[in-house]
Structure 1
Amino acid sequence: MTESSDWLMYGPDAAQTSAVGGSGPAETVVVSSLFESERRLSGPVSADGILYFGERGLPDEETYVYAIKANDGSVQWKAAVDSIDAHSLAVVDETLIVVESHDPFDGENAGAVTALNRQTGAERWQTEMSDCILAAPTVVDDTAYVGCHDQTLYAIDVDSGKIKWSYETLGDIFSPPSVANETVYVGGGEYVYAIDADEGTRKWWFKTNDHDLFGGLAGIATRNAIAVADGTAYVGSGDGLLYALDATTGTVDWHFQPTKVNTTSGTPSITSSPAVADGDVYFATAGDELYSVSADSGSEQWSADVPHSGDARPIVTDEMLYLGAGVLRGFDRKTGTEKWQITTVRGAQNPIILDETLYVPANDNTLHTVR
């Protein structure tokens, strides 16, 4: 597991495992307000004790990316940006990568990837894209991998902003790319793609049986990332299956089908990014259930009823699992027993954990801490 002192990107690692070492709030919890805004906040990222996050607004509204101290919420700087989505930032060395979505009716460019100096907020470069960007960036070494609404995966040089290569998929990309073993994994429409990280050529692709209400817009084409661990890529789909794919060949090792269906689509669509740790896979479903299954065989370990779980992403520590689904909940990750829930933080989503503290944006336009 990644250590929990930094949370550099959505994953929080490039393989998108959503797992960190150490502990977190387990029994009695204390909730505090760290930062308040006039708008909804994106999921934060963090490095060296500084939290970075953005305001989510309409394209014609003035919104900002903020850098604040994690210990007291004091603002270090803010930088004006166009509208951003729920997951829009990544840290690499002294650079903060921001993906922006412009007004699609205002000129020919609808999105951009921007690099800011993470110490000052000053812009280093900006690369305009042909369509909006609704997926978080993933950064490995000197390359930022970004999926775009124009059905294309881009590899962008972190130092210059130049596009190294691009790969066109068969569907819009809403999910953050995963990178492991010099391969980029991403969902586009009904497909999972494995792309050479250096060359941008396809190694393999896999077609799901996605027949959700919204077809390719559900399942893997939502914001759920593909988690890669120990040679296997784990991905949920709108066809109601969690797939374990051989990360080298794309062949199916196993699949798991939840039992409870979503009343709208008729399938238990898996629109949640899975978390993987210590031989277990954790994920939520549109059928309002949270599951733990064996990473090796797909056999069910436990399940729990969780209202409004939908596309909520679980994050796990050594002993606990946290899920922001309407309210924030903490579970014993080995048994599935709910240890606590916080009803005062409504619309909790996209939590991260640093040094045993959860940082949680919520519907009240506030970034909360839970200890």
Structure 2
Amino acid sequence: MRNQYKKLVLGAAVALVLQGCSLFGGDEDLTPMAPLPQIQSAFEADTAWSSSVGGGIGDFYSQLRPALDGSRIYAASRDGDVTALDASNGDKVWRVDLSDLDVNADKRSARISGGVVAAYGKLFLGSENGVVYALSEENGDVLWQATVPGEVVASPAVGDGRVVVLTTSGTLIAFDSESGKQEWSLTEEQPPLTLRSVAQPVITNGAVLYGRADGKVGIALLSNGQPVRQSKVADPRGATELDRMVDVDSTPLVAGDELYAIAYNGQLMARKLMSGDEVWKRKYSSYRDMAADDSAIVITDSSSHLFAVDRRNGLELWSNTQLENRDVTAPVIFGDYVVVGDVEGYLYWLDRLDGTIKAMQKLDGSGLYANPLVEGDTLYIQSRGGKLFALKRP
């Protein structure tokens, strides 16, 4: 079911899954998926190459995305396959299987979910088994691994010689990128009910910015984890714990001297990065990452509606509701287009100026789940079934 990936955690032990079908049984679809848009595509992007990178993620929740560094692109599957490919033609350079490691011996699989991040000649990944890995970009050798108290479902943040992960239990942990030695940890109290997803931390200006389940963006010193400031994005409101969920699960976006953040059941807000002063706020709800250019912020909201808002004042520039409840990915900006994928494996190209769908094409029936990766004139996107596609700009 297309909404089964929006998992919830109740307390510390009970996991629920929000599905299109009733949570309590029956076949009625409470959030019907919009029919496939009927449009005349203006073009179809050429597929430069496609390649299998393992078994993909199946029906599980995951935020796995490929990473590009130099002439190679790196991708992973949930079971533990990590693959390096030549970015120009998709040829495999090396492959390793993290499920073979002793740390996963008594587990169902490696359950990789957070990553891939390439930096310092290494690849960094995290897993639902509570393991953080550093691999050699050159040959895939495991350079170090560390266990953490909780699942790592978001990509690590890497910078200034440190690797920072945020677990689903609300713990922020920093490691030395070279040795894997833990340097500090910071734990936040969690609300009774939270979304399954977690935002990737952001390293900037000697600090770590991270989304919290209580509707705030936390800021801590990268050197020692000392909390600096909290920026409120949303206040819990409503009669039930479900209504009061205000998780900030979209990666905080830093553009210029401003910080942009959005919360589930909350709002989109802009603040000055250094002072924390509020610039503007608008009512939107999302758990997906945002995209930005010089003038606009583009979001996919929790109903798979797409919006562009003016970075200066938060005024809405355009909206598109044609893909409602199609589990649309986070957006990326690619030339003249905003590009997103959906649960049925379609890729959509929206005019970045007015939000109209200019073209669509089906890539993989297993579905598209994570925002594409853009590098130059090429767009890379990974499917649930483990296919990695490289598409050329139209």
TM-score by length of 1: 0.79
Q: Answer yes or no: is the 8 Å Cα contact 2:217–2:248 preserved in 1.
A: no
Aligned counterpart, 1:189: 213
Residues 146 and 164 (structure 1), Cα distance of their counterparts in 2 relative to 1, 3 Å cut: same
Runs of 4+ in 1 over 6 A off after TM superposition: none
2:325 pairs with one of 303, 308, 316:
308
User: For residue 54 of structure 1, what is the amino acid of its counterpart?
Assistant: A
Does residue 136 of the first structure (1) align with residue 161 of the second (2)?
no
Does residue 169 of the first structure (1) align with residue 154 of the second (2)?
no
**Share of identical aligned residues, percent?**
21
Q: Answer yes or no: is the 8 Å Cα contact 1:147–1:177 preserved in 2.
A: yes
Q: Answer yes or no: is the 8 Å Cα contact 2:134–2:142 preserved in 1.
A: yes
Q: Answer yes or no: is the 8 Å Cα contact 2:248–2:261 preserved in 1.
A: no
1:229 pairs with one of 255, 267, 285:
255
How far is 1:309 from its partner?
Answer: 5.7
Q: Answer yes or no: is the 8 Å Cα contact 1:245–1:253 preserved in 2.
A: yes
Q: Answer yes or no: is the 8 Å Cα contact 1:359–1:370 preserved in 2.
A: yes
Aligned residues: 322
Greater relative CO, 1 or 2 (CA 8 Å, sep 6+) = 1
Aligned counterpart, 1:71: 88
User: For residue 161 of structure 2, what is the amino acid of its counterpart?
Assistant: D
- The CA deviation string for residues 288-345 of structure 1, in whole angstroms up to 9 with x for no partner, is 3111101111011111123336572111134222112332111221222222111343
SS in 2 for 1:43: coil
Residues 123 and 86 (structure 1), Cα distance of their counterparts in 2 relative to 1, 3 Å cut: closer
Does residue 325 of the first structure (1) align with residue 325 of the second (2)?
no
How far is 1:87 from its partner?
Answer: 4.1
Does residue 100 of the first structure (1) align with residue 116 of the second (2)?
no
Q: Answer yes or no: is the 8 Å Cα contact 1:307–1:325 preserved in 2.
A: no
Aligned counterpart, 2:269: 243
Mean CA deviation greater in 194-203 or 111-120: 194-203
User: For residue 349 of structure 1, what is the amino acid of its counterpart?
Assistant: Y
User: For residue 290 of structure 1, what is the amino acid of its counterpart?
Assistant: L
TM-score by length of 2: 0.75
SS in 1 for 2:165: strand
Aligned counterpart, 2:282: 256
Residues 154 and 215 (structure 1), Cα distance of their counterparts in 2 relative to 1, 3 Å cut: farther
Q: Answer yes or no: is the 8 Å Cα contact 1:67–1:78 preserved in 2.
A: yes
Residues 338 and 311 (structure 1), Cα distance of their counterparts in 2 relative to 1, 3 Å cut: closer
- The CA deviation string for residues 30-51 of structure 1, in whole angstroms up to 9 with x for no partner, is 2365212552153100111211
| Consecutive unaligned residues in structure 2, runs of 5 or more | 1-41, 58-63, 100-109
Aligned mates of 2:277, 2:111 — CA distance in 1 = 35
SS in 1 for 2:77: strand
Residues 229 and 209 (structure 1), Cα distance of their counterparts in 2 relative to 1, 3 Å cut: same
Aligned mates of 1:170, 1:45 — CA distance in 2 = 32
SS in 1 for 2:180: coil
Q: Answer yes or no: is the 8 Å Cα contact 2:304–2:328 preserved in 1.
A: no
How far is 1:231 from its partner?
Answer: 2.0
1:114 pairs with one of 127, 133, 141:
133
| Consecutive unaligned residues in structure 1, runs of 5 or more | 1-25, 58-62, 103-110, 259-268
SS in 2 for 1:56: coil
Q: Answer yes or no: is the 8 Å Cα contact 1:182–1:198 preserved in 2.
A: yes
